[in-house]
Amino acid sequence: MIQLTILGCHSATPRADAYPTAQVLDIKGELMLIDCGEGTQVQLRKQKVKFSRLSHIFISHLHGDHYLGLIGLLSTFSLLSRTAELHIYAPKGLEEILKLQFKVGHSYMSYPLIFHTLASSEPETILDNEKLTVETIPLDHRIYTNGFLFKAKVGDRKLLIDKVLDLNIDKAYYKSIVKGKDVKNRDGKLINNKDITEDPKPAHSYAFCSDTAFKPNIVPQITGVSLLYHESTFLEEQEHLCKKTKHSTAKQAGIMAKKAQVHKLILGHFSARYKDLSLFEKEAKVVFNNAEIAEAGKIFRCD
Amino acid sequence: MIQLTILGCHSATPRADAYPTAQVLDIKGELMLIDCGEGTQVQLRKQKVKFSRLSHIFISHLHGDHYLGLIGLLSTFSLLSRTAELHIYAPKGLEEILKLQFKVGHSYMSYPLIFHTLASSEPETILDNEKLTVETIPLDHRIYTNGFLFKAKVGDRKLLIDKVLDLNIDKAYYKSIVKGKDVKNRDGKLINNKDITEDPKPAHSYAFCSDTAFKPNIVPQITGVSLLYHESTFLEEQEHLCKKTKHSTAKQAGIMAKKAQVHKLILGHFSARYKDLSLFEKEAKVVFNNAEIAEAGKIFRCD
Q: What is the DSSP string of A247-301?
A: --BHHHHHHHHHHTT-SEEEEE-B-TT-S-THHHHHHHHHH-SSEEE--TT-EEE
Q: Which residues contact A186 (CB under 8 A, 6 or more apart)?
A: A168, A169, A170
CA distance B197 to chain A (A): 48
Q: What is the overall mean pLDDT for chain A?
A: 96
- CB of A146 within 8 A of CB of A60? yes
More confident residue, B279 or B202: B279
Q: Which residues contact A265 (CB under 8 A, 6 or more apart)?
A: A228, A230, A253, A254, A256, A257, A284, A288, A290, A291, A292
A270-302 pLDDT, tens per residue? 999 999 999 999 999 999 999 999 999 999 999
Q: Which helix (H) or strand (E) holds B77?
A: helix B70-79
Yes or no, beta carbons of B63 and A94 under 8 Å apart: no
Percent of chain A scored above 90 by pLDDT?
A: 96
B24-72 pLDDT, tens per residue? 999 999 999 999 999 999 999 999 999 999 999 999 999 999 999 999 9
Looking at residue A153, its pLDDT comes to 95
Sign for the CA dihedral angle at A16, A40, B37, B296 comes to positive
Looking at residue A155, its pLDDT comes to 87
Residue of B26, B35, B65, B211 marked active site: B65
Q: What is the overall mean pLDDT for chain B?
A: 96
Where are the domains positioned within chain A?
A: 2-155+201-302, 158-198
CA distance B195 to B185: 13
- Bridge partner residues of A118 (DSSP): A91
> Which pTM does this prediction carry?
0.90
Yes or no, beta carbons of A100 and B104 under 8 Å apart: no
Q: Which helix (H) or strand (E) holds B42?
A: helix B40-46
A133-188 pLDDT, tens per residue? 999 999 999 999 999 999 999 989 999 999 999 999 999 999 999 999 999 999 99
Tell me the C-alpha to C-alpha distance, in Å, between residue B78 and each of A13, A21, B74, B81, B115.
Answer: 10, 19, 7, 5, 16
A72-125 pLDDT, tens per residue? 999 999 999 999 999 999 999 999 999 999 999 999 999 999 999 999 999 999
A4-28 pLDDT, tens per residue? 999 999 998 888 889 999 999 999 9
A79 touches chain B (CB under 8 A): yes
Phi and psi at A233, nearest 5°, equal: -65, -35
Yes or no, beta carbons of B41 and A38 under 8 Å apart: yes
**Mutate which of B101, B109, B246 to disrupt the A interface (most A C-beta within 10 Å)?**
B101
Evaluate if residue B260 carries a pLDDT over 90: yes
Looking at residue A61, its pLDDT comes to 98
Identify which of B39, B68, B76 has the shortest CB distance to residue A13.
B76
Identify which of B42, B63, B64 has the shortest CB distance to residue A16.
B42
A contacts of B106 (beta carbons < 8 Å):
142-143
Looking at residue B137, its pLDDT comes to 98
Spatial CA neighbour of B30 closest among B105, B127, B121, B145: B127
**What CATH superfamily classification does A2-155+201-302 receive?**
Ribonuclease Z/Hydroxyacylglutathione hydrolase-like (3.60.15.10)
B57 C-beta neighbours (distance < 10 Å), count = 22
Interfacial A residues in 187-246 facing B (CB < 8 Å): none
B92-128 pLDDT, tens per residue? 999 999 999 999 999 999 999 999 999 999 999 999 9
Evaluate if residue B228 carries a pLDDT over 90: yes
Tell me the C-alpha to C-alpha distance, in Å, between residue B182 and each of A180, A251, B174, B197.
Answer: 105, 75, 11, 10
SS3 content of chain B, % helix, strand, coil (to 5): 30, 30, 40
A44-78 pLDDT, tens per residue? 999 999 999 999 999 999 999 999 999 999 999 99
Yes or no, beta carbons of B97 and A97 under 8 Å apart: yes
B155-170 pLDDT, tens per residue? 899 999 999 999 999 9
Q: Determine whether B211 is an active site residue.
A: no
Looking at residue B16, its pLDDT comes to 81
Looking at residue B289, its pLDDT comes to 98
Spatial CA neighbour of A167 closest among A135, A194, A199, A139: A194
